[in-house]
Structure 1
Amino acid sequence: MDYLLQLVSNPTAWIALATLVVMEVVLGIDNLIFISILTNKLPEHQRAKARRLGIGMALILRLGLLGTVAWIVQLVHPVFEVFDHAFSWKDMILIAGGLFLLWKATTEIRHSVDPAPEGDLFVGKQVAAIGFSSAIVQILLLDLVFSVDSIITAVGMTEHVPIMVIAVVAAVTVMLLAADPLARFINNNPTVVMLALGFLIMIGMTLIAEGFGAHVPKGYIYAAMAFSAAIEALNMLSRRARRKAQPQE
């Protein structure tokens, strides 16, 4: 109890908490985009449940990993070397997660740009082909990758576990509140789907690069995403203005 009281009365701890909450929310954007795209392929009555379950599993994973901070720190230690480059368990997890994101995003893009002649029938088959259990398993795999990255980032920013726990819970709460609106927005705007898939490819490539030791500043990634999203927003406004300008029949 004395330890917690000292944290509450320490201004540095509050600054660390605010910084870590922002960092965890930003890192959660990647996970949320993937969950939104994947759950939108489920039947409509299962989508909200899958999103809540996926985000809930992310919270459980991150809190569970926080309980094994000493083990998590060891994940950055080299395990083997290839051509004089050392790989750790964290590197291998990031590479595997990046490859999975690349595969998933390119598959979704191929389905979008090369539909079957049946059109809507093909879409229906795709939704049915991705069952609830399959979606949850895929979300769980990416939850694991993003959770490891998130917790290692948190450990690097503060040594106080209570601060990490509060930051993780706050970030996941924001994800939970934003999940349904984001998923509906993506589902109602087909061009945004393609943009989000492009984001997943960029995130996947970043994870692979970091797994091979090439550090990519997160600020560059999110600045590129924000710029692309701003351009798409302008395109949406332009299309809406053109529709309003068209004479009504």
Structure 2
Amino acid sequence: MMFVHADSSGETCPEKKVLYKLISGLHSSIPMHIAGDYLLDESRNQWGQNIELMYDRILRHPDRVRNMYFTYLFVLRALTSLLSATEYLEQAEYDTGNHAEDLKTQSLIKQLLYSPKLQTACPVPFDEAKLWQGQGGPELKQQIQKKFRNISALMDCVGCEKCRLWGKLQVQGLGTALKIFFSVGNQDKEGDQTLQLQRNEVIALVNLLNRLSESVKMVHDMRPDVERLMEDQITKTSSKPGRLRRVLDLAFSFLVK
């Protein structure tokens, strides 16, 4: 795939590393939500947390957890720390069809954009001004955009309609965050920012931030207990000899007699 190829020097360029982490982080966030609200017993319609799935898919893999945090910070920074996006989202029209809801939405967006806690909690994971700005920058941007279109197209093959909808929405949200970063340093001749977002892109971006923040919170809240529980289960399982081990022990006992 494009984002794991190395250049002529044998090293992967920073832009491709960023893209790999973003896809990995998104791919890690989705199972967290699945495991957090899992159909445990279909006959009784019992839903709950699937601890084993959460541990096996995500928590036992530190790199997946790190990439999830990276993706969360990437999207959060795109929303709250880049002037072009902040100004655009603040001035955007939020028409829900209900005036009271419109005012509430505008208020919530401003709280999100200008929250001191979020701005201080969002360190600079990389210098976006240096990304996609080199000689091959425009070509690399086109390649990344093409990859995201391909990923979105692959979502059409998902049989579950709800899964397909959520998948395409989150992929579009991540693509929108990249679009915001692509706009850094791109200004027209009069100095105005060229960033333009469509309504569905803003919706996808905010929804993605919500899903990622929920995943990060689940990891933060549940990781110590889940890891302790799974380690206890692994210890108990390993302390009980399996069938093959019992057969070998029995065979060895005959040999030493």
Which of the five TM-score ranges fits, normalised by the shorter chain?
under 0.3
Higher relative helix content: 1
Q: TM-score, normalised by structure 1?
A: 0.27
State the structure with more CA Rg: 2
